Structures are given as C-alpha cells and as structure tokens.
Amino acid sequence: MASKSRRRSRRHSPLTTAALVLAVCAHGALASSPLVDFDRMGKVGLAGAFAGLDVVSNNNSVTFDPSTASLLARSSDGSLSKVASTDAGGSILAGCAIGDAFYVAGNFSSIGGTSASNVASYSTSSGSFSALGSNGPNGVVHALYCDASRKQVWAGGQFSSPGASVAVWDIASSSWSAAPFGGLTGAAAEVLSITTNSSQSSLFFSGSFIASFGNGSIPLNSTNNPNVPFSSGATPFSSSLVPVPLGNASVTAGPASSDGQFNNVQNILCPAGPDGPGNTWLAADGNKAVITVRKFAFLTARGIRIGNTFLDGRGTTGFSVATIPDNAVQQLTYFDPTDNQNKTCTDNCPLLTDSSVPYQDFLFDSDKDITGFQLTLSEWQGAGPGLHLLQLLSSGAFASAVDSQNGQSCFAPGPSTTERNGNWKEKDADTSIPGTIQAVLVSTVDVGTPAAQAPSFTWMPYVSASGQYDINLLVPGCTNFQDCALRTSVKVTVFPGGGQQPWVTTVPQTNTEDNVTLIYRGPVVPTSPAFQTTITMTLADDPVGTGQNGQYEIVADRVQLILTSPNVTSSANASSSSSSSGSGKNGFGFLEWPLGATSTSSASNGLQTSAITPLDSVGFDLLTALGGAASVASTAFAPAISAVAHHPSGAVFLGGQFSLSSGSASGASNIVVFKNGALSALPNGGLNGAVTSLVVDGDTVFVGGSFSDTAKASNSALRGIAAYSVSQNAWSALEGGVDGAVNSLDTSGSQVLVAGNFSKILTSSGSTESQNAAGFAAWDASSNTWVNNGGFIIGSMTFVGNGTSSTPQFVAGSVSTSVRFGATGFVMLQNGPNGQPQVTPLGVQFDSPIVSANASTTAKARRSHHRRAGAGWIPSLNVLNVFKRQAPSTTTNNLSPLPSPAPAPAPAVLAGAFWTNSTSLKEVVIIGGNFSYAAGRVQAQNVAVYDDSSKTITPLRGNQPNGTVRSLLVKGDTLYVGGEFTVAGIEGSGFAVYDLANQRWESAGLPPLQGGSGESVTVRSITASPANNDDVIVAGSFAQAGSTACRAICSLDTSKSQWNALGNGIQGDVAAVVYAGSNELVAAGSIALADNTHANVASYSFSNSTWSSVGNGGDLPGPVTAAEVNDGNMNSVFVAGRSSDGSSPFLYFWDGKSWQSVGQGLEGSTDVAQLVMVPLQNTHDGNSIIEADRVLMVSGSISDSSFGNASSVLFDGQNFVPYIVSTSESGSPGTVAALFHSIANFSFTQRHFLATGVVILISIAIAAGIVFLLALIEILWTLFARRDDKVNNYDAVDMDADDDSTHRPSSLLEHINAATRSTILGSSPFGPNAEKEAGLAAAGAGAVAATASHDDPFSGPDASNYLRAETPSDALGGGLGPEEQSRPAYARYSFDGHGEGELALKAGQELEILDDRDDAWWYARDVRTGHEGVVPASYVY
C-alpha cells in the first residue's frame, strides 16, 4: 500500500544497527600500490569462504551507515560501487538520467555532503552532486522522469511548491516551475509514478489523487492523420509528417519492366489511382532494382513512405535506404502491424505483402540533412520487385521563401504559400552540404525605418495534422553572402492557431555561419479552409548593427516545423476522432499528459476538458469502480495507483493498492488492465497484496510488491514478485519468489533487476531451501533462473533504475554492507586496465552441501533447472576445521596441535586446479570445498568443473564426495582429491583419484590412507614431485598408507599405484608442502623428525632421501599453517602460523642461517591460510628480504593495526598492503583460502616493452624507409634501362602538338618516371613524353597497338580519346559497362578547370560521364554546352 510504505519504519538486526565498516588504508611507506602481474601466472583463481569481495585501492575507505540511504553505481558487469549517502533518516526513491547527469530524488536534505532538498543531480563525469535550484519540491518526491529531447526533469510526489504534486525542472534555464496542468487533488494528493506510453509521446501520472476536468475543447489526433489514407503500417506520428514534394526532383529507376504501363517511376510519387497500370512501377523480372531520387537542394527528412504492389503475386519483400550525398545506409524504425511492435532494420528491411496494409512508414533515427536518397529493392516475391507508392517524409512541415520550392505535397490540398511586402530579390546561398545551393530572398531597408514601414515576409506552411511542433527559422550565414555589415535583427511572430496567443521572437541575422533559431514550441493547428499557421518576419523594433551605406539587409530563407508529438489538443471547431467532452469529469489515480502540451489550468480550477485523452478513461473508470469520490475520500487509507506499464499491444497495466467493487473489472484487487476501452481483471482477481512496481519485457509483465498469492489463492509461489503473460493471460512464478516486499523493478538486457526489503530468494513454494539475497537480486528472463546480480549487498533497497552510458544502472536504499563483486567463494583474476586487477566472479551459485552417506549425481534433483547465480547462501552445515587439532601421540614428542582457522561457513571453495581437456584442448578450472549446486536435473557437491568462458558448471559423474575437499591436483587427465570426505564405493577416506578422461573414480588398486588410533584422515596438500614425474606427494594428518608407514606425508608412485615413505619419515601433522628447486621439499606444520627433533619446518632431499630441520624448531613460536619458498631459493623461506598457546599469529623469514620475525603489526585475530610469492608489473623498494619485482601474498583472515581487516595482503619485506577484502553472507569478514594458477613455473623477471606510441612511430619510420627504398630502386631502374635509347632518340620536333604533357599524372610511379626523364633529358618533369609512357603502361597491349600510329592517348583536340584501363573502378565493377556509353552525374564542388583538357565545373552542375575508369580523373561532357574534358573524380557524384 502506498500510504503504508510512506509510513514504513526501518528495522535492523543487531548486526546492522551500527555502521559496518570495511576500511583499509595502504601503509604510507609505499610510494604506489603493488600491481600484481596475474597474466604472467597464466589463468589465476582465488578461492575462499566469502559471498563478495573487492580489490583495495590505495587509501581506499568504504563505509555504510544503514540509518542513511546510499546510492550505488552498477557497472555493465554488475559490480557495485558506492556513490554517496544521504543525511540520517533520508531515503532515495527515484532516479533518471539525461546525458552524463543522473537525477536522484526522495526525502533528504543532503546527499554526498551537498545540501539538496529532495532532488539532486549527480555528474558521472566529475563525480559531484549539485542541488537543483533553491525552490524545488518542498516534500517527498516519489517519481522522476527525464525528457532528454526537451531537457526537462519531471518530479512527482507529495509537495505543494513549486506546484501541487508535480513540478518541472528546466535544465536550460536552471529553474523549477509548476506543471502545465493542475487539478490533481483529493485522496492522498500525491503522485507515485511517472512513466511514458509505449511510443514515448505522452506521460502517465499515477498515484493517489483525483484528476478534475472542467469545460473546454475536445482532443484531437488520437489515431492516424485523417488527411492521409489510413494504413496500419503508419502511426499517428509518421502519418502527420508532410511528404516532401518530388515533382521537380530527378528520379531514376532501373532496371525497369519493359511494359510501358509500369516503367515510369514518376507515377508512384503520388499515384492517381489504385495499384495497377499507370500507378505502379515494376522492376525487370528477376532483378533487384535501384531507385535514386535527387533534389539537388538542401532539405531535412525524417523517413520514407513505401507502398507495395500486389499485382500478379509480385511485390517487394526486402529493401534498404541510403541517403545522398553521404551514401550512408540508414537504420530505420517502423511499426509492424502484424505483432504491434516497434522495430528497427538496416540492410534488409522487410516490406509487408499484405494488401490490407497499403503502405508503411519507415523513419530515420533522427532528422537528416540530405539532397536525396537511393532505395534498393533487394528481395521480392513473384516475378520481381515493384512499388505502388514512394514518398520522402519531412520532419513535420516546411515553407520556403522562394515559391518555386513550395511544391504541392502528395495528399495535400495545396502547397505552402508566402506573402511579402516591399522589394525582395533572389540570391543563391551555399548550404552545409557541399556542392548544393539554396535560393533565398533578401530585401534592403534604410537605417532608421520604423518596423511598421519596413519590408515584411510571411510564410504560411501547409500543416497536415495537429501536434506538438518546434518551429525553426533558418538564417544563412553572412560570410557566404559577404554582407555581414548589412545584417541586422528581425522580429518573428508565430500564430499557431487554436486560440493560442502569438509568439514573438527577436532573431539576429548577423550570424556568420548558417544558423537555426527556435521561434516557437507548442501545439499547432492543422491547415484548414478556416485557418492556416502563419510566421511573419519584419524589421526588429530595435534593430542591431549600424548597417552599410545607410542600409540594412533582411534575409528570408525557410521555416521548418519539426513534429515532436502528434497527441495534442486544439479548439472545439477542429476535427476530432474523440467524443470525450462535457464538464465536471473526474478520474482517480491516473492522468495522461502529451509531452510538450501546454495548458492555462491551475491547481485551483482543474484541468480543461481539452486535456482529455482517450486513455484518461482509465481514471474515470477507476473512480467509478472504487465507488466514487466520496468513497475514496472516506477511506482510512486512500487507495493508490503506484505503477503503470504500457504494453506494445496497447494494454495499460495499473498496479497499487485498491479493490474494485463495480464495473467491468469488479472484484479486481491491486492490479488491473485497461484494454479495448475498458478495465479488465487479471486471472484469479489479481493479487492479494499491494503492487509497487511494473516492468514490461516482451510479452511478459513483471510485477513487484507485497503479496504472496493471487487474490483468489492459486499459486503460493507468487511471493513478492510475479510474472504475467499477456498472450496466455496467465500468472507464473519466479521459482518461489522472495521472502519480503519488492519496492522497485528495472530491466537490463535479459535480466529483471529486483530491489526491495527481502533477505532470501526462495527455491520453490513452501520450500525451506533458499539463497541469500539481501535486498537486491536479478532474474534472467531468457533462462527463467535467478542469476548472479554481479555485486554483493546487504540492505533494504528502495530503488533500481537505468543510468547513464558510463553507469548502466543505479541502486539505492538502506545499506549495511556492500562490496563490488558478488561471488560464492571463487573468482578469476587477470590484469585489467592500468594494470589494476580485473575480477570475474563465479558465474554460478553454490549452496550448502547435502549431508548424505551416499551422495550421487544420480540422486533426485531438488530443482528442475540449473540456477546459475544468487547473492548468498545458507550456512546450514558447519565446516570441519581446516586444520584438525590432534591429541598428542606417544610417537610425536608432545607436539602442539595445528591451530584452528577462522570459521569458513558453507558454501566455501577451498582448493582449485586447472585442467586442459586432452580431447577438446579446452582449459577449465576444477574447484573443491564445502558446497553443493544443481547442474541440469542433478544435485552435486564439493567438486565441480567450471568453464569460465561459458559460465557453466559440470559435476563429476558418479558418487559425490561427502565431506570437505581441501586440496586438488591435476596431472594429465587424472584428478587427485584430498580433504576430509568419503566417496561411496571408494575404500578409505580423505583421498581419492578421478579419471577425468573416462569420467569415473579409480576405485581399485590403491591402498587407502589410514588415521592413527581414534583419528580421522585429513589431506591438506597434494603436489607433484619435481624429482620424479610419476610421483605425487600427499600430506596432511594420517598414520599410514595401506601397509606403508608414512605419517603425515607420503609419496604415491602413480605408475604402480604404490605408496612409498619419504626417507625415515616425520612425526606430527603437515599443513603445507612447497619446493626449493627440483631436489628439495619443504614440509611445514606441527612436525618432529624421526629422531624426535622438534622442527615444524623440515626439508627433504630427494637425492639422498634424508630429512632435516630448517633452522632450530624452537625459534618458531608454534605450528605452521602456511609456507612459501621464494622462487625455489632455500635461503628465502617464509612461514606463518600461530603460537603454541594459540594467542598470537606470526610470520617468519628464513635467510639460510636463522629465522627472523617479519610479521610485526599482525593482530591476534589473524589466521593465515596461504603464502604465495606473486610477480609484479611495477616494482617496490627492494630489500634484503624480498626483491623489488615480487611480493608475498598473505591470505586468510588478516588483521593489522594499520589497516584493519583484509582477506589478502601483500608483503614487500617491510610493509603489509591490504589487497583483497571479502565478506560473508551475514556481512562479517570473509576469508581467502587459496590463490592458484595454471602456469606452474613462471619467471619473476620483468620484461620491459616500448610504449605503444614509440612502437607506432618506429613502425611508421620503417614503412617510410621501405617506400623510399622502393622509389629509389624505381628511379635507378628507369635511369639505367632508358639511358641509351632515350638520349639517342630524343628529338624535340617530334613532340605532338596536342601532347598531354600538361595533364596531371595519376599515380606515384608516373611522377617518378617524369622526374627520372627530367634527370636524364634535362626537360620539364612533365615534358613531352612524360605522361605518354604512363598512359602506355596503364593501357596495356591494346594501347600499345594503338600507339603505332599515334603515341598520345589524348589524341583528339579535346582529349576525347582519353582512356585509362584497369583502374579501381574497373576492378570493382563500378565503371561504365561494355554497353554503357555514358551516365549522368552532378558536380559536388566547383572546379576552375584552367589546365589544358580540363572541364570547368560549378557546384550542382549536371554532367555526362563518358569515361570513369581512372580513380582520380574522369572524362565528362557538360550537357548544357557540349564541352568535354577531364574533371576530378572526387568532385562528382
């Protein structure tokens, strides 16, 4: 219920009543944060017990206070980052974006430290907040709508100023104003939602209010424009666009039918009759066709109108449109009447062959400044393509100052017209499109002449339909006229009709470049015998400038009417398709307002009936169905319409808190649909609780709110969220829904984003199984599954909505904890931008494992599909201790037990390994731990094969490990699994071998590990022996392997499936095994040698099979939990653990002589699970402990007095730098168990590369050198090859009188040849034989034969025999065909043509191309004078 939600108080658990702080600060000693080089390690995985994590930035601190409202940015990968918080007690309820600005609203007095009352803007580029003026809404704001085209932000809520319940922020003027309507009173008098209709031409306001309409006029234009023939392939918008007259355009089409009744393309520009002879154009049978339309003048177009032919089963089925002169194939938007959907197309747009659809309108994505277009009919049915109608649609309407340009449009009763007073003369002006000119009129007036006595000009454009228009005055720049000194300012008066007051604008005409000035914005009445819109221009009352020679010059060009919305109102004497009229009409909870419409209403006198639209019947019917105004006013809690969604079918869905007692939807509760002119109930009476949000995704309407079933109980899985199929008229559940209220919905691609006050996603109706998702979740509509929303959050969320281009979504609410990435215990790491780590979360959702004596993938699945994501988990199973405490043994010299690690609640990933499938050669990651998951229809647990490229998971076939997996090793196609578990059918516990190639457990031939008396087996480490490729080293807590006595560590000969002891063995328990080169193994834990020497860290030599203590075991404070050898160097060993009494952690370094503590600052709660040396992209200050090109990564649960808590830190030998922070599903700190990588042995040595810019410069220099070398070789070759005959045979008198030496060479080699001849002969670079030989070289054998009688390829007096063969146009098939002697063209630019044989051009001049086979120069004829010559190819189109 809306009113209840406004009174809702926040409740927080003890965990969240105080702000949870994840604060980490890098130690000041480091100049910059270390950049770990993950790529050098191959693929890298990070495993642990966490629900979300983030990478720490230097001096980064993120805090959340649940008593405030926090705004979070959601990136394209779903990761979350905090933007800002409000003041305590504040709330964020709405948001929208224009450009890079995100507008946020709710109930707050400050946000991000900026004082702002209920509404603020956030710049994503600068990262700063700004208040919106000082007189914004003085109460809570529930809804925002951003009108990007008009640069306005609409706000709705419960406030009285600057308007009642609705206010408008104008970005251009930076000011607030009341809405252009009033009359929203009664009930709770608040607006809860502002959305648009499906065409985005009107706004829908909904809430708890009564919309009161008074006397006035009637609405217009609720259907297609009545002044054009109706077609379901058009819309009210497109049918209101006046077609551009094409009577004086150049229109060519071909190949055309040989039938004379169907080969005149002019007949389809405005057909005089029905589809048939004389009114239809047909292409030649079996051929695609091209229709080219050129106006040779600047025009603004919005799209095209195409009508198909249906003669003899023929018709066009596919086409494309390219605009001229840019030759760009345009993306088109159109309405498909077959499914009532708006669609787009580009290269192959479909054209319907249904004779009931006489034409379709295809619109460009914006207004285009063009000179023509080319339509390609590429697909057809029957014998060939054809058309019955072809029109170019304007941007709305238009009128030119030059009457000859105001042709009569098709379907128009007459053309646009003009009137003028004074003397006006025509001038030509260049346009913004090269090669085109536009005629304008100018008039001079003496300086000092009163405006009333000055020349005036009036445009009277033909307007086809009423609508909301922007009217622009086009003023050509004075630079092209060279009359800037004469220019002044003019006064322009617009009479739009409909009883509206005229708009008067003063427009300066002193602009140096072409300018477009807005002179009116608002409704315009269509042209009729009784009225015509007029735009009058005269000298300004106070003209600017001093004039020239005592005179001003006024310029009259064109006026342009751009249609922005067809749905506006006009006076009652205009035609209308609606009959809604009368006085005193009231509606409840809903109002439609056409975007851009204006009104003189106020909140006190109500809305005019001129504002009534057909959809306002929704509000009228709702008020009646609720029992009338008295029933609404007397209700203790006023009903409300909280959300509205307009389906493309035309149906309007309304959700809120209400119960209808009468009318066509009597009995409907909380959601209803308006279709076919009446309200209708949804199946089972709607829903049994309040609806707060609606979103449409194709055929489905997703509904969010506080409900648990339909009104008439039918599906208890409809909890908080539900899906309604429009086509099937049926409800469906999103698994089991959520366990709380949903406050806001949004869509992102195929995902539906869900924000609310819930904590879990329920797997099915009545099920106790669930996933943690505290306040935010994502549903994949394409796969019908809950998916990973990308980030991790714990909170009560109030808003989710689309954002800017750089930040796709924003999420807001009361947040206790949030980290950037959400993942169930596992992420992939690699180098990202600027060297920062790039995190890819696990793409599936893990749950707690199932405790069973015989877990198997063949067991019945608990879910019918693979749920690939989620936000949390249920810690329903306590994880066994990672390091089991062991009682002292009579054989172990009273060793201290291994310490217990930090809690790792399930689901947790504790180990991983990479495997390259020997069959597919695809590399995947195998992970193990304490978790379960659904894969297909089976349930699996504790081990999974994860494909990070497809985000899919595959279980091991057969029985599943029942317990906890702690270590994994892959050798070839064999997987070695260690931990604390059993597998049904496998003897023993704690260790098993799996054949990945054949997908089965190896159950025979391998003796099991055995624990001591009363002890269980735990395997913590499985590694490959560097000394023998067949050996695998297994370590942990056990007494023997089969009959082989090998306590805590044993070698498995994989070739024989035989266990072997390592030397004399050791006593105790092993936590970690690392290697110093290929000959030495280092085992760490709680260890004594066979002779009872206390060690805790011991080394084993493979060469002599002996154990020895690394240093004095008594120098270490206690048992070791993690160890690392620095790049195989036995004189650089690191170990971590806890003191024997368990009171404090330690980190020690072995330098080959003694142990020394390097872990100062680590606090008592620290537990170290792993030490691993990682390479760096940058360097730190090297020291005697760690080299400059690497750092030690310390993982587990780390606490330090300098930075607080972290899950992984980097140690450079002197300082700890926090690196990874993680959190559990409850919000407490998480832990990292292991970092593992695909490349076993990598180099720490850094490779330095040149900067990209330097590499590019070197490449350019090399390329330039090669080109110069080739040119030099050509020159030298020419020099030596031609020296004798050229010098001996040259005779100046032999030079032809009409030689072509003055023509420009058309290739680099011709320039080289000319320069070479100049060197040899001492003549001009383009001397008598320069281009002759180039012509011979280009012309080939045919040209050589021709030169036997005449050497000059320009043999005619006007170079009419000019030919060049094998040019790029020939190769592309774009030149003249063998049967084509010429083709028409036009000059794009002017060309002086002073050179011999050249033809002068004027922009727009018509030409005939005689030869286009050269890519640089074409041979052409001026069709007016008959003169011929060569012209630059790029100057012609």
Please report the pLDDT score of residue 433 as a whole number. Answer: 62
Please report the pLDDT score of residue 32 as a whole number. Answer: 61
* Residue 879 scores a pLDDT above 80: no
Q: How many CB atoms lie within 10 A of CB 357?
A: 18
Q: Which two tokens stand for residue 840?
A: 């890819």
* pLDDT confidence band for 435 (50 / 70 / 90): low
Q: Among 223, 233, 337, which residue's Cα sits nearest to residue 648?
A: 337
Please report the pLDDT score of residue 767 as a whole number. Answer: 59
Q: What is the 3-state secondary structure (H, E, C) of 376-415?
A: EEEEEECCCCEEEEEEEEECEEEEECCHHHCCCCCCCCCC
Token pair 């950037």: residue: 820
The string of pLDDT tens digits covering residues 483-508 is 899 999 999 999 987 667 788 999 99
The string of pLDDT tens digits covering residues 1162-1206 is 998 899 999 999 999 999 988 999 999 999 999 999 998 888 889
Question: Measuring CA to CA, how many Å separate 1087 from each of 262, 742, 1034, 1091?
Answer: 99, 56, 15, 11
Residue 612 · residue 619 · CB < 8 Å: no
Sheet holding 152-158, edge to edge: 140-147, 152-158, 166-170, 175-178
Please report the pLDDT score of residue 842 as a whole number. Answer: 87
Q: Are strands 690-697 and 826-831 parallel, antiparallel or unpaired?
A: unpaired
Please report the pLDDT score of residue 597 as a whole number. Answer: 65
Q: Which residue has the higher pLDDT, 732 or 77?
A: 732
Please report the pLDDT score of residue 774 as a whole number. Answer: 86
Please report the pLDDT score of residue 1099 as a whole number. Answer: 96
The answer to whether the peptide bond before residue 337 is cis (omega within 30 degrees of 0) is no
What pairs with residue 1003 in β-bridges? none
* pLDDT confidence band for 902 (50 / 70 / 90): low
Question: Measuring CA to CA, how many Å separate 616 from each of 581, 621, 976?
Answer: 12, 9, 70
In whole angstroms, give the CA distance from residue 478 to residue 485. 9
Residue 1024 · residue 995 · CB < 8 Å: no
The string of pLDDT tens digits covering residues 790-825 is 888 889 999 999 998 888 999 999 998 888 898 889
In whole angstroms, give the CA distance from residue 408 to residue 411. 9
Q: Which residue has the higher pLDDT, 1394 or 289?
A: 289
In whole angstroms, give the CA distance from residue 839 to residue 1208. 14
Token pair 């001003």: residue: 552
* Residue 1249 scores a pLDDT above 90: no
In whole angstroms, give the CA distance from residue 1402 to residue 1002. 87
What pairs with residue 747 in β-bridges? 752
Q: Are strands 360-381 and 315-324 parallel, antiparallel or unpaired?
A: antiparallel
The string of pLDDT tens digits covering residues 11-60 is 334 333 333 344 444 333 333 678 999 999 999 999 999 988 998 874 45
Please report the pLDDT score of residue 1425 as a whole number. Answer: 82
Flag the least confident range among 177-181, 415-419, 796-800: 177-181
The 3-state DSSP class for residue 10 equals coil
- Output the furthest CA–CA distance in the chain (Å, rounded): 122
* Residue 1225 scores a pLDDT above 90: no
Burial-class residue 260 by CB neighbours within 10 Å (0-12, 13-18, 19+). Answer: exposed
Flag the least confident range among 916-930, 931-945, 1049-1063, 1177-1191: 931-945
Q: Which residue has the higher pLDDT, 63 or 294?
A: 294
In whole angstroms, give the CA distance from residue 723 to residue 1056. 59
- Mean pLDDT estimate for the chain: 82
- The C-alpha angle with vertex 1045 and arms to 1042 and 1050, in degrees rounded to 5, equals 80
Please report the pLDDT score of residue 863 as a whole number. Answer: 34
The string of pLDDT tens digits covering residues 1354-1413 is 344 344 443 333 333 333 344 455 445 688 999 988 888 888 889 998 888 889 999 888
Please report the pLDDT score of residue 1001 as a whole number. Answer: 94
Average pLDDT over residues 1087-1104: 94
Please report the pLDDT score of residue 319 as a whole number. Answer: 96
Flag the least confident range among 71-80, 802-811, 870-879, 1254-1263: 870-879
- H and E: helices and strands count for the chain: 9, 93
* Residue 376 scores a pLDDT above 60: yes
* Residue 253 scores a pLDDT above 90: yes
* Residue 1054 scores a pLDDT above 90: yes
Please report the pLDDT score of residue 797 as a whole number. Answer: 95
* Residue 877 scores a pLDDT above 60: no
Question: Which H/E stretch holds residue 1370?
Answer: helix 1368-1371
Question: Which H/E stretch holds residue 629?
Answer: helix 629-634
Q: Among 105, 196, 101, 199, which residue's Cα sits nearest to residue 143?
A: 105
Q: Among 928, 802, 888, 861, which residue's Cα sits nearest to residue 1236?
A: 928
Question: Which H/E stretch holds residue 1272?
Answer: helix 1252-1289
Please report the pLDDT score of residue 1359 as a whole number. Answer: 40
Please report the pLDDT score of residue 524 as a whole number. Answer: 85
* Residue 870 scores a pLDDT above 90: no
Average pLDDT over residues 1011-1016: 86
* Residue 1251 scores a pLDDT above 80: no
In whole angstroms, give the CA distance from residue 1346 to residue 1352. 9
What secondary structure letter does DSSP report for 1060? Answer: E
Helices 1252-1289 & 1308-1321, crossing angle to 10 degrees?
A: 50
Residue 69 · residue 85 · CB < 8 Å: yes
Please report the pLDDT score of residue 436 as a whole number. Answer: 66
Please report the pLDDT score of residue 1247 as a whole number. Answer: 65
The 3-state DSSP class for residue 473 equals strand
The string of pLDDT tens digits covering residues 643-701 is 999 998 889 999 999 999 998 999 999 999 998 889 999 999 999 999 999 999 999 99
Please list, in sequence order, all residues whose beta carbon lies within 8 angstroms of the beta carbon of residue 1040, skipping any fewer than 6 positions away.
1009, 1010, 1046, 1047
In whole angstroms, give the CA distance from residue 1412 to residue 667. 77
Q: Which two tokens stand for residue 1208?
A: 């992984």
* pLDDT confidence band for 1076 (50 / 70 / 90): very high
Q: Among 794, 920, 768, which residue's Cα sits nearest to residue 848?
A: 768
Q: Which long-range contacts (CB under 8 A, 24 or more apart) does 1054-1058 make?
A: 1054/971, 1054/974, 1054/1030, 1055/1030, 1057/1005, 1057/1006
Token pair 């509606």: residue: 587
Q: Among 787, 815, 796, which residue's Cα sits nearest to residue 758?
A: 796
Please list, in sequence order, all residues whose beta carbon lies within 8 angstroms of the beta carbon of residue 794, skipping any fewer than 6 positions away.
16, 774, 775, 815, 816, 817, 818, 1226, 1227
* Residue 867 scores a pLDDT above 50: no
| Phi, psi dihedral angles at 492 (to 5 degrees) | -115, 130
Average pLDDT over residues 399-416: 88
In whole angstroms, give the CA distance from residue 1045 to residue 641. 77
Please report the pLDDT score of residue 872 as a whole number. Answer: 33
* Residue 1282 scores a pLDDT above 90: no
Please report the pLDDT score of residue 56 as a whole number. Answer: 85
Q: Which residue has the higher pLDDT, 1349 or 497?
A: 497
In whole angstroms, give the CA distance from residue 262 to residue 271. 12
Please report the pLDDT score of residue 607 as a whole number. Answer: 73
Q: Among 954, 970, 965, which residue's Cα sits nearest to residue 916?
A: 970
The string of pLDDT tens digits covering residues 183-207 is 677 777 899 999 998 878 889 999 9
Q: Which residue has the higher pLDDT, 427 or 1119?
A: 1119
Sheet holding 1106-1109, edge to edge: 1066-1076, 1080-1089, 1097-1101, 1106-1109
Please report the pLDDT score of residue 1175 as a whole number. Answer: 95
The whole-angstrom distance between residue 359's C-alpha and the CA centroid of its chain comes to 34
Q: Which two tokens stand for residue 705?
A: 């709110």
Residue 244 · residue 392 · CB < 8 Å: yes
In whole angstroms, give the CA distance from residue 913 to residue 1244. 21
Please report the pLDDT score of residue 904 as a whole number. Answer: 66
What is the residue-wise DSSP string for 1021-1058?
A: EEEE-SS-TTEEEEEEE-SEETTEE--SEEEEETTTTE
Please report the pLDDT score of residue 860 as a whole number. Answer: 35
* Residue 63 scores a pLDDT above 90: no
Burial-class residue 587 by CB neighbours within 10 Å (0-12, 13-18, 19+). Answer: buried
Q: Percent of the chain at pLDDT above 90?
A: 52
Please report the pLDDT score of residue 214 as a whole number. Answer: 65
Token pair 């080939």: residue: 1340
Q: Percent of the chain at pLDDT above 70?
A: 82
In whole angstroms, give the CA distance from residue 1287 to residue 1349. 22
